[in-house]
Amino acid sequence: MDRVALRTQIKELIIRELNLEGKTPAELDDDAPLFGAGLGLDSLDALQLAMAIEERFQVTLPEGDEVRPIFASVGAIADFVARSKPLATATG
C-alpha cells in the first residue's frame, strides 16, 4: 500500500471513530495539526484514536507524552504506522 492510500485510510478512521459527520477524507489536511485548533479534537479523541489505530493497524502506540509527536498530524500517524509494520501487512 502506498503512502497516499495509508493516509486516506487514517483519515477515514478519524472521521468514523471521532464522528466527524459531514467531513470527507479530502477535507482533512495531511500535515495540519489534529488537536487543539482545526478539528477541535481533545484528549478523549486522542484516546479513541489511539485505540482505533492499534486495532486497525495492529501496532502498539506509546502512552503518555511520547504519543504527542505521533499524533501531530495525519502524516505523522501514517509515518509511525509505516515504520512500525512492513507496508505489505498494514492493510490487515
Partner 1 sequence: MRVFVTGLGVVSPLALGARATMVGLMQGKSAFGPLTLFDTSDQRTHLAAEVSGVTVADVAPATHRATWSRTDAMAVVAAREALAEARIDPRRDEVHVAFGGTTGGMFETEQLLAGMVRDPSRREPHALMLSHPLSATSDRLQSAVGPFPRARTLCSACSGGANAILLGADWIRSGKSARVLAGGADGLCRLTFTGFNALGAVAPDRCKPFDRHRAGLGLGEGAAFLLLESEDSVRARGAVPLAELSGWAVGSEAHHITNPEEAGATAAALIARALERGGVALSELDYVNAHGTGTPLNDAMESRALRRALGAEIGRVAVSSCKGQIGHTLGAAGAIEAAMTVLSIAQGELPPTGGLEEPDPECDLVHVMREGRRAEVRAAISNSFGFGGTDTVLLFTRPGLVTRPARSGTASDEGRRPRVVVTGAATFGALGLLGSRGSLRYVEPGAPPSGEPLRFEAKEHFDLARARRMDRASRLLTMAMQTALGETEGARPDTAEIGAIAGSAYGNVEASAEFVQRIYEKGGRLASPMAFPNLVPSSPVGHAAIYLGVRGPVLATLDLGVTGEAAIALACDLIEAREAPAMLAGSVEEQSGITEHVLGPVCAGSSHWAGVRSEGAAAILLEDEAYAARRGATPICRVDHHASGRGGFARGAAALPAPTRPALVVLARRDEATLGALAETPWRGVPVVDVAGRAGHHEGLGALAFAAAVGVLGDGRAEQVLVLGLAPDRWVTLVLVRP
3-class state of residue 13 by DSSP: helix
The reply on whether position 17 binds partner 1 by CB under 8 A is yes
Question: In one letter, which amino acid is 48?
Answer: Q
Smallest distance from the beta carbon of 49 to partner 1, in angstroms?
9
> Binding pattern to partner 1, positions 27-46, x when CB under 8 A?
-------------x-xxxx-
**Residue 21, burial from CB neighbour count under 10 angstroms (0-12, 13-18, 19+):** exposed
Q: Measure Cα distances from 33 to 38, 80, 88, 92 in Å.
A: 7, 16, 28, 27
Q: Which of 18, 76, 81, 90 binds partner 1 (CB under 8 A)?
A: 18
The reply on whether position 74 binds partner 1 by CB under 8 A is no
Binding site for partner 1 (CB under 8 A): 17-22, 40, 42-45, 47-48, 51, 54-55, 63
